[in-house]
Every structure is written in structure tokens, then in C-alpha cells.
A and B are shown apart, each in its own frame.
Chain A
Amino acid sequence: MDKFLQLFVSGVALGGIYALIALGFVVIYKATGTFNFAQGGFVLLGTYLTYQLAVEWEVNFYLSTLIAVLAMAGVAMLIERTVLRRMMDQPAFTIILVTVGILLFLQQLVPIIWDEPGLRFANPWLGEVVDIGGVSISHANIWTVVYAGVVFGAFALFFKFTRTGIGMQAAALDQEAAAAQGISVARSFQVSWAIAGAVGVLAGVMLTARGGDALTPAIGFVALRALPAMILGGLDSPGGAVVGGVIIGVAEVLTAGYLEYEWLGANFSSVVPYLVLIFVLLFRPSGLFGTKEVERV
């Protein structure tokens, strides 16, 4: 039972990370109606940026994360402004392929700037464990859940109570009608990209802290596992991203902890998110909380 609880908490924490990344996918999907594969690149570049500040330049860890969050929000907005804005009238697959191109670019940029196969990125929670009723939980996991909770709470408030947030919801619902009401659709696109860049950094830093202190460019691809979380929760539902993220995270950690069938192969847990995805799609194509698609001719 202790082992189960331990794994469960760890899975929830991983789920929180996936949920953060999925939130980045969801806000852009809601605003623009397409996937943004560059999200994995935001996670990757943002984490390395934080590393550069915190380790190489010895800035305080939390301050480094904050600076990197702001910087990546800026980078994401810049990409939106220079590349995606010009392509608004292109078919969906063209826009998706452009974001794939940006992902590939960022993925290769990192090993050029940080020319080491693996780096050490220590964090304040390294090795710290708290014992709750016989279940030992790492500080990193606890803080991951807290941060994810705070971020999602903040976004819920933002979308409900601020002018920009409400405007973004309107623009997501109907761009033309929103524009007619004086809401800037372009601004809503820009803010959604900034959010995606910002949450990507946080997710990447927590993802690194989770595994100890090793940092490799592979975390850009780990971020892709948040895609199943996004689809599972429903493409356009930030709340669904949380549930989807937690389900995927727990499923992945539990299989890693319990499943020991040799024929399933080593690292089976890393494909579990995708198998869950395929399974769910068979039965609930619009995810758990997504809007059912209604088509009017």
C-alpha cells in the first residue's frame, strides 16, 4: 500500500507537469484552432535558459525561473508575431507543419548553444524527502503539485475576471463576432502564445527537478507526452488538461512501478501515455471534457 501511495503521489506530480504543458497546447488550440508543436521547444529552451541563469550565472533559482518564464513568454510572442501571424489564412495542416519546423529548430538550437550531452542542474529540493505516515514524498513532487495548482488557479481567475481573459474566450468562440465587439483577435493570439511559453518553462524546470539534477535535450520530446493528456482531457478544456494530465501521469508511473512483464519490454511506461490515448480515442473521440463537435453546413 505504501508503495502504491508513493507511486500515486509521484504520478500526480508528473501529471501536474503534463497538465502544465497541456495547458500551453490548450490555450493556443482554443485561440487559433491548431496544435502548436513548438510547445516542446518552449519547454526545452526555457529549461536551458533557467539552467544558464541559475547555474552558469549563479542567479537565485526562483528568480532564474521567473526571468526564464518572462523571457520565453517573449520568445513565444515573437514567434507568433513574425511567423504565425502571417499564416492565419493558411489551411490548418500548413500551420501545424510550421510549428513542427519551429520545434525542430529549437530542438537543434539547444545543443548548439549548450554543447554538452548532459548537464547538472541542481534545484533547492534535491534529495529532500518528507515522510507522511510511512509514505516518503520528495519535496520536488510536492512543490510541483503546488505550482501546478497555483498556475491553474491563476489562469481560471484570469479567464473569468480580467478583460483580456474574457476577450480571449470570446475570440475563441467566434473570431468575427468578437472583433465586431471591439476585441482584438490578434492580441488574444499573442497572449495565448505568451501563456504557452511561460507554462512551458515551469513545466520543464519541474520535469528536470523530478528526475534529480540531470538535464538533457530529451525533455523536449518528453513534453510530447502531454499531447495525450491534452486530447484525453478534451482539446479545448483547461480543466480537462488537469484531469488528463493526472490520468496519464499516474498511469505512466504505476506501470513503471508495478508492471514487470518481460515481453512488454524495457521502458514500457514511456509508451503508456500513447496507448492510453489510442484507447480513449476509440471510445470518446472528443475526450473527457471537450466540446462535442457539431457541424453546421
Chain B
Amino acid sequence: MTDDLRLLRSAGARIGAALAVAAVVVTPLLISSDFWMSVFIAAGVFALGGLGLNLLTGYTGQASLGQAAFVLIGAYTAAWFGADKGWPMLLWMAAAMLAAGLVGAAIGPFALRFKGNYLVVVSIALVFVTVHVLQNWDSFSGGFNGKSVGGISLSFLVDFGDLSIFGKQFTPEQGLFYLTWIVVGLATLAVANIIRTRPGRALQAIRDRDVAAEVIGIRVARNKVIVFALSGAMAGLAGGLDAARVGFLTPGVAESQLLLSIRYVAVIVVGGVGTVVGAIVGALFLGPLPELVEEFSDKINFTVPLVDQPLLKDSATSEGIMSNAVFSEILFSILLVVFLMFQPRGLVGLWHRMVASLKRRGTPTDDAGPDIEPVATPH
């Protein structure tokens, strides 16, 4: 087996994976606050949806602003089967993945007809249409009034909603934390396995030179449809878990869902486009940013010189330059642009570069270079 094909390529990667698992196990033991648990669950949801988006954008080279649509489809499907019909957890999860995956597969063929990135427009259309359907399909979604996700089953082997291990009783939030991050772990493993083996190589070949890929026998069409379905399914599962977290769903307006899609894009760009752990890193940094800004607005806030006004305002009518929501969206937009311009490989790329330069300094003769795959070549 060549070095390239190993799941964990270096001692560092093995240590990193072990630390990540340890962090997931320990965090709920140390933190009991519902707020922080909810923040980490939200990060997990973003990591899961981001993993799917990264498969599509980072590995297959297709920009998409449709991730929010798949998240919504997954969330409502989970609520319908899990809460309304009372299906067991594995079944509503499968249903959420299937529904979002099928819609993804249906969108895939549009990307085949076009070369380049027209798909991004179709994905916007998908967000608008999905939100419209959810706003109006009352019997399924509850329409504008929304839908409760109360009573959704979270048990498989153990009940994550009422978790008790060795006599230690966990809160429902702590249980959902374990569930979410177990799912993220499994999804990461799945993506890593796809990427390091034949199908992953095929996707990257499509991204870099699709005609050449076709010539060497890669079925471009089939691979693209599959990756759309996979990406949609992962976002759908993320939506289902998020439904369980928030407990109540509303379709919102298409504009705000489009902002959510952009947030998913920001997560993978800041984490690292085209790296397996990029989505997780990005989600931890950016996923729950609006919630954190909301919670700590009085700590972040300061009086801006020159205009002599506070940066954030408490309510719509009070003094201040911007609302908390605007502040976090502005942060997203600046991070997105700055990272794409100066650090297109994201935080993971930055980390690899730092490690590589440290290695070089240690052993000047060993010039193996950084252990990363080449960035996508320009078309």
C-alpha cells in the first residue's frame, strides 16, 4: 500500500484523530451549559453539511449556493417522519438523507449539460423554489407558522435524548452533542475513504481536467450525479440533526436561506476547500458565530471612535452602528473574501504550511515538502 492511500498518513494525523475523538468524548463531561452544548451541536451540523459541500466544491470543482435547500429538505423530512409519524431514529435519518439526496441527484444533470459553473445559478433557483414550497405546503410543513419537532426519537441502542452511562445522567443537549459528533465522525471517515480511493481520485480528475478524465475512462456524468446526491444527503442529515437541536422549524424567507448557503461556503473556504478536515475546522470557527455574537454582544461591543457610537445595538431602535446579525454577516463576508484572496487553502492549508516550514528548519536535508495534495489547477 502506498503512503498516499493510507487513511492517516503520518504520526501527526494519527495523533490528531485520537485527540479529536478524545475531545468529543470529554467535552460534555466538562461542559454542562445548554448554551455551549447547543453551540457545539450547531458546529457539528455545519461540519456535516460542510463535508458534503466540500465534496462538491472542493473535490469536484462545482460552486453551489444550494446547501441551505438540502438542509431545509432534510430538516422538514426528519420532522415529518421523526416527530409527526414517530419513526425510529435510524429511519427518519435515512428518510432525510434520501429526500435531500434525491433532490441533489435531480439537480446533478443540470451540471452535466453545462461546463463550468452554471450550476450555481440552478442552486439559487433550488433555494427559492424550496423555500416557496415549504412556505405554502401547509399539510407537510406547517407553512409560515412553522412546525414543531417535539418528541422526535433520538434512540438507537441507547437513547441520546435521555443518555445515562455508568450511572451518569446527561442532559438532552449533551446527548444530542454525542449523537451529532458521532455522525460527523462517521461522515468524515466516509468522505476520507471516498477521497483516498478510486472514486475520489476520479472526482479530482473531473475537477482538474474533465475532458482528460473522460478520455482515461472516468464516467464524468455518473460521478457528478453521485457526488450531488451524496452532498445533498449529507446536508439533509445535517438538517435533521439541526431540527432536533432547535425543536421548531420555520421556512423563513429565501433571502435568509441564501445567506445560510453562503455561510456554508464560508465554512469550507475558511476551513480549507478540498481537505477532509477543512469543513470541521471551518465549522468550529464559523458555524455558530451568529449565536456567539448574540450571546457575547455586550463583551464584543465598544464605542467606535470618530462616530462616537457603540458598534452593536441591543435592539432595532437603540443606538449603535449595526445589529448583531449584520455584524456576523459582515464578518462572514470579509473572512470569505480575505481567505479566498490570501489563503485559498484555508486554515488547514495554513497549518500544513507551518508544519512544513518547521520540518524544514529541523532537518535541512529532508526536503519532502508538505504532505498535501496540489491545489486545483486553473482552467
Contacts and interface: CB of A to CB of B under 8 A. Distances in A.
A39 to B, nearest CB: 12
A296 to B, nearest CB: 9
B117 A94 contact: no
A175 to B, nearest CB: 13
Contacts of A295: 115, 211
Nearest to B207: A91
A218 B255 contact: yes
Given A87-B340, A264-B136, A108 B118 contact: no
A94 B379 CA distance: 11
A259 interface: no
Which of B125, B255, B330 has its CB near the most chain A CB atoms (within 10 A)? B125
Contact of A96 (B63, B114, B259): B63
Given A97-B340, A102-B337, A112 B321 contact: yes
A92 B379 contact: yes
B244 interface: no
Given A105-B337, A111-B326, A271-B128, A221 B121 contact: no
B19 to A, nearest CB: 30
A112 B326 contact: yes
A98 interface: yes
B125 A228 contact: yes
Given A100-B262, A100-B336, A108 B115 contact: no
Interface residues of A, number: 50
Given A91-B376, A91-B378, A98 B115 contact: no
Interface stretch (A69-77, A237-245, A275-283): A275-283
Interface string B205-230: 00000011001000000000000000
A63 B116 CA distance: 41
Nearest to A82: B341
Contacts of A293: 114-115
A265 interface: yes
A35 B322 CA distance: 29
Contact of A93 (B57, B316, B337): B57
B93 interface: no
Question: Interface centre among B110, B121, B215, B266, by most A CB within 10 Å?
Answer: B121
A147 B120 CA distance: 30
Contact of A35 (B110, B117, B266, B323): B117
The B contact surface, by secondary structure, is: helix
Given A92-B379, A96-B117, A297-B215, A86 B341 contact: yes
Contact of A108 (B120, B128, B329, B336): B329
Contacts of B265: 97, 100
Contact residues of A: prevailing secondary structure: helix
A233 to B, nearest CB: 13
Nearest to B58: A93
B352 interface: no
Interface string B108-150: 0010011111101110110011001101110000000000000
Contacts of A297: 211-212, 215
Contacts of B323: 111
B195 interface: no
Contacts of B116: 33, 92
Contacts of B57: 93
Contact of A277 (B121, B258, B336): B121
A93 B61 contact: yes
A94 B340 contact: yes
A231 B322 CA distance: 36
B188 interface: no
A199 to B, nearest CB: 19
Contacts of A112: 321-322, 326, 330
Given A89-B378, A94-B340, A281-B110, 14 more contacts: A35-B120, A90-B340, A92-B116, A92-B379, A98-B341, A111-B323, A112-B321, A265-B135, A267-B132, A268-B132, A274-B129, A278-B122, A285-B114, A295-B115
Counting from the closest, the 8 A-B pairs by CB-CB distance are A265-B136, A274-B125, A101-B336, A104-B333, A285-B113, A105-B333, A93-B63, A101-B337
Interface of A: 33-35, 83, 86-87, 89-94, 96-98, 100-102, 104-105, 107-109, 111-112, 117, 218, 221, 224, 227-228, 231, 235, 263-268, 270-271, 274-275, 277-278, 281, 285, 293, 295, 297
30 contacts: A33-B116, A35-B117, A35-B121, A89-B378, A90-B344, A90-B378, A91-B378, A91-B379, A92-B379, A98-B336, A101-B336, A108-B326, A112-B321, A112-B322, A231-B118, A235-B118, A263-B136, A264-B136, A265-B135, A265-B137, A268-B132, A274-B124, A274-B129, A275-B129, A277-B121, A277-B122, A278-B125, A285-B114, A295-B115, A295-B211
